[in-house]
Chains A and B, each alone.
Chain A
Amino acid sequence: MTELAEHVAAIGRPLKRKEDARLLTGKTQWTDNIQLAGALHMAILRSPMGHAKITKLDVSGALKYPGVEAAYGAAELGDLNASVPCVWPVTDDMVAPDFPALAKGEVRHMGDCVALVLAGTAAQAADALEGIVVEYSALPAVINMDDAIKEGSPLVHSDKGTNKCYTYKLQPQGDGAYEAAKAKADVVVKRRFVNQRLIPSAMEPRAVVASPMGTSGELTIWSATQVPHVLRVLLALVTGVSENKLRVVAPDVGGGFGGKLQCYREEILCVALANKLGRPIKWTETRSEDMMATHHGRDQLQDIEIAATKDGKLLGLKVDLIANMGAYLQIITPGIPLLGMFMYPAIYKMDAYDFSCIGVFTNTTPTDAYRGAGRPESTYAIERIMDELANELGMEPMELRKKNWIKHEEFPYTTVAGLTYDSGNYEAATDKAMALFKYDELRKEQVKRRASGDKVQLGIGISTFTEMCGLAPSRTLGALKYVAGGWEHCTIRVLPTGKVELVTGTSPHGQGHETAWSQIASDTLGIPVDDIEVIHGDTRTSPYGMDTYGSRSLAVGGQAILRAGEKVVEKARLIAAHQLECSANDLEFDHGVFRVKGDPSKEKAIQAVAFEAFSAHDLPDGLEPTLQAESTVDPQDFSYPHGTHLCAMEVDTETGKSTIRSYVCVDDIGIQINPLIVEGQVHGGLAQGIAQALYEGAVYDSDGQLLTASFADYLVPSAPDLPSFVTDHTVTPSTTNPLGTKGVGEAGAIASTPAVINAIVDALRPYGVNDVPMPALPMTVWRTLNAARQGGK
Chain B
Amino acid sequence: MTKVSITVDGVLHESEVEPRTLLVHYLREQVGKVGTVVGCDTSSCGACTILLDGRSAKSCSVLAVQADGSSVTTIEGLAGDEWHPVQAAFKECHGLQCGYCTPGMVLSAVDLLSENPNPSEAEIREGLEGNLCRCTGYHNIVKSVALAAQTMKGGKK
The reply on B139 being an interface residue by CB < 8 A is yes
The reply on A601 being an interface residue by CB < 8 A is no
Q: In the bound complex, do residue A725 and residue B137 qualify as a contact, i.e. CB atoms below 8 Å apart?
A: yes
Taking the closest CB of chain A, its distance from the CB of B52, in whole angstroms, is 16
Q: In terms of DSSP, what is the predominant structure of the interface of chain B?
A: loop
For the side of the interface on A, what is the size category?
Answer: 35 or more
Q: In the bound complex, do residue B125 and residue A720 qualify as a contact, i.e. CB atoms below 8 Å apart?
A: yes
Taking the closest CB of chain B, its distance from the CB of A727, in whole angstroms, is 8
Q: In the bound complex, do residue A719 and residue B141 qualify as a contact, i.e. CB atoms below 8 Å apart?
A: yes
Q: In the bound complex, do residue B39 and residue A24 qualify as a contact, i.e. CB atoms below 8 Å apart?
A: no
Taking the closest CB of chain B, its distance from the CB of A615, in whole angstroms, is 39
Q: Mark A681-710, 1 if CB is under 8 A from B, else 0.
A: 001111110000000000000000000001
Number of A-B contacts (CB under 8 A): 173
The reply on A28 being an interface residue by CB < 8 A is yes
Most buried by A among B18, B37, B47, B129: B37
Q: In the bound complex, do residue A683 and residue B45 qualify as a contact, i.e. CB atoms below 8 Å apart?
A: no
Partner of B134, one of A33, A257, A511, A719: A257
Q: Mark A237-259, 1 if CB is under 8 A from B, else 0.
A: 00000000000000011110100
Q: List residues of B (70-97) whose CB comes within 8 Å of A's CBs.
A: 74-76, 78-79, 83, 87, 90-92, 94, 96-97
The reply on A204 being an interface residue by CB < 8 A is yes
Taking the closest CB of chain A, its distance from the CB of B81, in whole angstroms, is 13
Q: In the bound complex, do residue A203 and residue B79 qualify as a contact, i.e. CB atoms below 8 Å apart?
A: no
The reply on A1 being an interface residue by CB < 8 A is no
Residues of A contacting B139 in the complex (Cβ-Cβ under 8 angstroms): 683, 722, 724-725
Q: Mark B100-144, 1 if CB is under 8 A from A, else 0.
A: 111100100000000000000110111011111111111111100
Taking the closest CB of chain B, its distance from the CB of A683, in whole angstroms, is 4
Name the CB-closest residue of B to A690.
B137
Q: In the bound complex, do residue B94 and residue A680 qualify as a contact, i.e. CB atoms below 8 Å apart?
A: yes
Name the CB-closest residue of A to B44.
A711
For the side of the interface on B, what is the size category?
Answer: 35 or more
Q: In the bound complex, do residue A711 and residue B99 qualify as a contact, i.e. CB atoms below 8 Å apart?
A: no
Q: In the bound complex, do residue B140 and residue A683 qualify as a contact, i.e. CB atoms below 8 Å apart?
A: yes
Query: A27-B35, A687-B134 are known contacts; what are 14 more A-B pairs with Cβ within 8 Å?
Result: A19-B99, A23-B102, A26-B34, A32-B38, A35-B29, A201-B134, A202-B100, A510-B98, A684-B97, A719-B125, A720-B126, A724-B121, A724-B142, A725-B137
Q: In the bound complex, do residue A287 and residue B45 qualify as a contact, i.e. CB atoms below 8 Å apart?
A: yes
Known contacts A510-B99, A684-B97, A710-B44, A204 near B87 by CB under 8 Å:
no
Q: In the bound complex, do residue B140 and residue A202 qualify as a contact, i.e. CB atoms below 8 Å apart?
A: no
Would you give 10 A-B contacts (Cβ < 8 Å), ordered by A?
A16-B92, A24-B90, A24-B96, A24-B102, A26-B74, A32-B38, A676-B94, A679-B94, A718-B130, A722-B139
Q: In the bound complex, do residue A203 and residue B101 qualify as a contact, i.e. CB atoms below 8 Å apart?
A: yes
Taking the closest CB of chain B, its distance from the CB of A89, in whole angstroms, is 32
Q: Mark B9-29, 1 if CB is under 8 A from A, else 0.
A: 000000000100000010011
Taking the closest CB of chain B, its distance from the CB of A292, in whole angstroms, is 12
The reply on A62 being an interface residue by CB < 8 A is no
The reply on B36 being an interface residue by CB < 8 A is yes
Q: For the complex, what is the distance from the CA of A158 to the CA of B100, rounded to whole Å?
A: 42
The reply on A374 being an interface residue by CB < 8 A is no
Q: In the bound complex, do residue A30 and residue B96 qualify as a contact, i.e. CB atoms below 8 Å apart?
A: no
The reply on B55 being an interface residue by CB < 8 A is no
Q: In the bound complex, do residue B138 and residue A25 qualify as a contact, i.e. CB atoms below 8 Å apart?
A: no
Taking the closest CB of chain B, its distance from the CB of A324, in whole angstroms, is 23
The reply on B40 being an interface residue by CB < 8 A is yes
Taking the closest CB of chain B, its distance from the CB of A445, in whole angstroms, is 22
Q: In the bound complex, do residue B83 and residue A24 qualify as a contact, i.e. CB atoms below 8 Å apart?
A: yes
Q: For the complex, what is the distance from the CA of A238 to the CA of B97, rounded to whole Å?
A: 33
Q: For the complex, what is the distance from the CA of A680 to the CA of B121, rounded to whole Å?
A: 18
Known contacts A203-B133, A680-B136, A25 near B96 by CB under 8 Å:
no
Q: For the complex, what is the distance from the CA of A748 to the CA of B136, rounded to whole Å?
A: 11
Q: For the complex, what is the distance from the CA of A676 to the CA of B142, rounded to whole Å?
A: 15
Q: In the bound complex, do residue A203 and residue B136 qualify as a contact, i.e. CB atoms below 8 Å apart?
A: no
Among all A-B residue pairs, the 6 with the closest Cβ atoms: A26-B35, A510-B98, A23-B99, A254-B100, A687-B137, A711-B44
The reply on A288 being an interface residue by CB < 8 A is yes
Q: In the bound complex, do residue B98 and residue A203 qualify as a contact, i.e. CB atoms below 8 Å apart?
A: yes
Q: In the bound complex, do residue A680 and residue B97 qualify as a contact, i.e. CB atoms below 8 Å apart?
A: yes
Q: In the bound complex, do residue A718 and residue B129 qualify as a contact, i.e. CB atoms below 8 Å apart?
A: yes
Q: In the bound complex, do residue A252 and residue B137 qualify as a contact, i.e. CB atoms below 8 Å apart?
A: no
